[in-house]
Structure 1
Amino acid sequence: MYQKHIKILEKPQGKRFAIGDIHGCSKTFKALVEDKIQLTKSDNLFLLGDYIDKGSDSTGVIDYIFYLQENGYQVFPLLGNHELNLLEASQQYNERTFKHFLRMNKNKDIVDEQMKIKPKYLEFFNSLPYYYELEDYHLVHAGFDFRNPNPFQNHNAMLYIRRFEVKKELLKGKKIVHGHQPTNLKAIQKSIANNASVIPLDNGCTYTKPHKIFDYNQLGNLCCLNLDSLELIIQENIEK
């Protein structure tokens, strides 16, 4: 169903950007792309998965991705675990349970009257690869399990792994940029400043209120990394 990975080894004429988990924050996503990044058609924009759930406008996020692609912008989205979870729920749950699942995740607009995922969104989800391999980066939703003999073939880890130790000899000089795990802004900035082999980009865009686990004062932003300059571009959550 899904492409294992896609190699993009040629750099664009413009810049290369990667954005972490958007989670239904369509206004914040649009502001980051148009006002902060000021994306051009010469740039490459990589999206690290989890476009849906948590925020209030999952379909708006995907529709904006469609808009960018249809208007000549080079946008490369990845599969996230939330997209896969939705696909699996649509196949495995009965109608009542699936309705509850959609309501809990604020995704009711993603299905039609027959409770089927709308064709344009289903086609989009099924087209998403597990990771992108660039000349100098591996871009993935969650990460890679280097305890596995074949870490670049373990697709479950690419969507769900939380913490992982890197075998640098397998990276061959490339860095890993990933989302999935909400990470304090200071930790993200530190990984970039230290030129780390692994850079997290999920700053928990939807975490804007006190939380029992996370320090929301260090979260609540949508983060973008300029892959060429290692500049971190931050857009505060502006959803209302």
Structure 2
Amino acid sequence: ALLPGVRKTPAPKGFDSSPDCTLREADRAGTVRFGPSDSYRADGRAVTSCYGGMLIRYRDRGRTVTAVGSTDFMTNSGLPQAGNAALAMNLAGDRPRLIWYAPQHIEGENSSTTSLFGLIPPSATWLVWQLLLVVALVAFWKGRRPGPLVAEQLPVVVRASETVEGRARLYRSHRARDRAAAALRAATLQRLLPRLGLGAGAGPPAVVAAVARRSGADAGLVAYRLYGPPPATDDDLLQLARALDDIERQATGS
């Protein structure tokens, strides 16, 4: 403890305090305005008490100890009041060497239980709710209104034949005879299977047998036309297209 044998008690409330002691520093300063302060009481030792115990001095192991119950009178705002400046100078300037001890809070330490949300003023909460309401109203105003579907006319109408011809030109320019043959065979099977009473998952043997039975053509030739290798030349591709057309016409009787 910094003051062994000294008890600290609340000082009586008052405005200005008189020294009422024989301490030279206090007598020269006269009336002092301490502000909120503590007073000291010592048991079993000789103590010089001034200002109602707010300033004491005593001897301890050959040293002179002076204790003040408040430091407000030494601050910039307290020095101009009453005899505060005189008392501060008398106490601090009495010796050539001065050691100033002031307890400091550790950085980041906070003894308050107030949360972060408790520091927000109540008006800020209403402001946030008002902003949210404004945003919701603007979103509703700018939002797209749901309504019945409206048919829109196409900007350009393209005939199916032009689409087929354009796709054929692309295949021809890239010499993609395999893709062209696959497209022709897939289209033929897509039209044949419902006519033959077969599902989309029917295997090649079932399809070949049904087409051969319906058209009267050779099963091997039908399998070659529907599932054979891709044509090697453009003439072969043209012959394949004609053969697929014949198979479809014979199988469907059209």
For normalisation by structure 2, the TM-score amounts to 0.18
Hey, which of these two has a bigger chunk of strand by percent? 1
Larger of the two Rg values belongs to structure? 2
Hey, which of these two has a bigger chunk of helix by percent? 2
The structure showing larger relative contact order (alpha-carbon pairs under 8 Å, at least 6 residues apart) is 1
